[in-house]
Chain A
Amino acid sequence: MTTDESISVEGSVLTVRGLLRAASVGALTEALSRIARGGGVVVDLSACDGMETAAAAAVFDAIRRARNTTSVEVRGASSELLQVWEMFGLRAKALESVGRPRSLRTHFEGVGADVLTAWDVVAGLLSFSRQSLEAMGRTLRYPASLRLSLALYYMEQAGVKAVPIIGVLCWLLGTVLGYQSGYQLKTFGAEIFMPDLVGYMVTWEIGPLLAAILVAGRSSSAFAAEIGTMKVRQEVDALEVMGFDVFQFLVIPKLIALILVMPVLVLIADFFGLLGGLLIGGWYLDMPASVYMSRLHLVMLPLDFYWGMLKGLVFALIIATVGCFTGTRVRGGASEVGEATTTAVVTAVFLVIVADALISLVYVRIRPGVIM
C-alpha cells in the first residue's frame, strides 16, 4: 500500500499528497471550505497517488459547494479522477431522488395498486376454491388417489396437537360465561337459567368459533408457509413438470384432514366449554351438577351440536383453502413467505367470522323450539 495522505495549505493553495482515504477526507473538505470563505482556492493534486471512491465523492462535493461562492481551480488531477467527477456531475441530480421517501403521487398510485391487488386476490381465491372443489371431486371418484399418509399427518398436526389448547381455552371461556351470566341472572333470582345461556353460547358460537380461530392461527399459517416456501424453492414447479396434480398433492390432503378433524374439535370445544359452566355453577351458584345437567338436557337439542359441527366443516373448508391459496400466491423471496402467513391467518379468521354470522342467522330461523 502507498503511504497515507498528507494535506497542506499554503495561502490559497491546498496540496494533497499520497493516497487519499475516505476515513480522513473530512480534514480536506474542512480546509477547503475554510479557504473558500476568504476567496479563490487552488486544489493541487499533482502529488496525489489516488483516492478511495468515497473520498473522491467527498472532494467532488466539497468543490461543488465551494464553487457556489468562489472559484476553485483543480491542478494535476488524473484523467481517471476527472472522468469519475464528470460522471458525478452528470448524475448527481438524478441520484438525489433514489431512495427518497415517496411523493404524494406515488402514495395515490399505491392505493390504486392495492385496490387492484385486492380484486385480483378475491378473483384468485374464488378460482382457487373452484379448482380445489374439482380436485376434491376427483379424489372422491378415485379414493385411491388420496395421499392418505399425508392426510393423516395433517390430521395429527392440525387436529390432535390442537386439542390441549382448545380444551383449556374453551374450559376457561365456559367458566367465564357461567360466571358472568350467573352474576347477571342472580339479581333477578334467575340463576337457574345459567345452564341455558352457557349451553347455547358454547354450542352455537364459542365452541365452533374458538376451535376455528385456533386452527386458523395454527394451521392456516402453517399451510401458507409450507406451500410458499415450496414455491420459493421451485418445488411446486418441480412437482408440476413431473406430472403431479399439484392440487391432489398439496391441497387435498390438507383440506380432507381439516374437514375430518374440525367437527371433532368443535365437539371437544363444546365439551370443555360446558364443563367450565358446570364447575363454576357448583362453585359460584351452588348449583349441583345434576341440576346443571338436567337443565342442559331440557333446553338443548342434539341439533345444536350437529349444527356446530356443520359450522366446523364450513370453517375447515375456509381455513384450508385460504391457507393453501395464500401460499400459492408467494412469488418472490423469503420475506413474502412471512407476509403470506400473516395474510393467511387474518383472511381466514375474517372469513370464518363472516361465515359464522351467516350460518347463525339461518340457524335461529330454522331451529325448532326457538321463540322469536
Chain B
Amino acid sequence: MSDAIPILEVRDLEGGYGSSRVLRDISFTVAPGEILVIVGRSGCGKSTLLRYMVGLSRPWAGSVLFEGSDIWSDSGRVLSSARRRWGVLFQSGALLASLTLLENVMLPLSEFRDLSPAVLRLAAFRKLDMVGLADFAASYPLEISGGMQKRAGLARALALDPDMVFFDEPSAGLDPVTSAELDQLVCSINRTLGTTMVIVTHELPSILAISDRVIMLDSSSQGIIAQGRVEQLKEHSDLRVHAFFHRLPQGQANDVA
C-alpha cells in the first residue's frame, strides 16, 4: 500500500480553535483503496483534523493535498473539483429535514450530473437500496431512527460514486448490531467499489473490524503518537496507545507518559 501514489496527503499540518492549538506537525498519506481509521480520545482533535481534510476549515500551517495538489491552491478550484470526487458522512447524518430520503440523495446528483430527473431518481434509489433503505425512499429524516439517518447520510455521500468517503464518528449513538451492519456496509463498499475510506472514530470494535491502517492522535502531544496496523498498535509500547486499545483507565497511561 505504502508505495502507491497517495490519493490524499496531509503535510506538516497545524491547527486549532481560536488561539488554542490542537494539532501540530501532522503528516500522513492515504493510499487509494485503503480504509484508514483515525482514532484518539475525545478532544484530541480527530474531528478538527477531518474538517481540515475535507476543506471545511483552512489549517493554520501546512497543507492537504488531493492527488498531489493542495486543495487550497488555484483559488478554490482544486477543492471544488475534489469535492465532487469525495463524499462526507457527518456524525448525525446531516440530512435536510425538509426533503425525503430520496430527494436528499438526489441532491448532489441533480447538482453535478446532467441527467433527467427520472434517471436521477433511479440512481438515488439504487444508493438507498445499497444501504438497505429501499422502503423508506419517501420518508422524511425525522420519521426514521438515528441509525437509518446515518445510513441515508451514507447513501448521499455515495451518490456520486466518489473515489473517497470521509466518516465522522459513524458508529456514535448506534446500537452494536446497527453499528456492526454499518461496518460491514463500509467494508463491502470498499471491496466492491474500491472506495478509499477515512474514518474518524473511537469505537474499538469498529476499528478492529474495518481498519487497514490506524493513526492515533493524542492531545498531550497535539499530534500523531502511533500509526500502523491495528495488531501492531495493540502491542505498542506507548502506554497511551496501550491504554486506548485495551480499554484501561487513564491513570495507568499517565504514570509513564
CB pair A91–B125 under 8 Å, yes or no, is: yes
- Who on chain B is nearest to A23 by CB? B113
A372 at the interface (CB under 8 A from B): no
Contacts of B122 in A (CB 8 A): 57, 60-61, 88, 91-92, 95
Determine which of A1, A99, A333 lies in contact with B102 in the assembled complex, contact meaning CB atoms within 8 Å: A99
CB pair B126–A87 under 8 Å, yes or no, is: yes
CB B206 to nearest CB in A, in angstroms, measures 26
CB pair B121–A98 under 8 Å, yes or no, is: yes
Contacts of B160 in A (CB 8 A): 22, 52, 54
**What per-residue 1/0 map shows which CB atoms of B205-224 lie under 8 Å from chain A?**
00000000000000000000
Contacts of B115 in A (CB 8 A): 22, 25-26, 54, 57-58
CB pair B120–A98 under 8 Å, yes or no, is: no
What's the dominant secondary structure at chain A's contact region?
A: helix
A46 at the interface (CB under 8 A from B): no
- Who on chain A is nearest to B99 by CB? A99
Contacts of B98 in A (CB 8 A): 335
Determine which of A25, A26, A92, A333 lies in contact with B118 in the assembled complex, contact meaning CB atoms within 8 Å: A92
Chain B interface bracket (under 10, 10 to 19, 20 to 34, 35 or more): 20 to 34
Give the interface centre of A96, A97, A98 by most chain B CB atoms within 10 Å: A98
**What per-residue 1/0 map shows which CB atoms of A329-351 lie under 8 Å from chain B?**
00011010000000000000000
Contacts of B123 in A (CB 8 A): 22, 53-54, 56-58
CB pair B161–A53 under 8 Å, yes or no, is: yes
Contacts of B144 in A (CB 8 A): none
CB pair B126–A53 under 8 Å, yes or no, is: yes
CB A23 to nearest CB in B, in angstroms, measures 7
Binding site for A on B (CB under 8 A): 32, 97-100, 102-103, 106, 109, 113-116, 118-123, 125-127, 129, 134, 137-138, 142, 159-161, 163, 194
25 inter-chain pairs at a CB distance below 8 angstroms, sorted by A residue, are A22-B113, A22-B123, A23-B113, A26-B114, A26-B115, A53-B123, A53-B126, A54-B119, A57-B122, A58-B119, A87-B129, A88-B125, A91-B134, A92-B122, A95-B102, A95-B137, A96-B121, A97-B138, A98-B102, A98-B137, A98-B138, A99-B100, A332-B97, A333-B142, A335-B97
Q: Which 6 A-B pairs have the closest CB atoms?
A: A57-B122, A54-B123, A57-B123, A52-B161, A98-B138, A57-B119
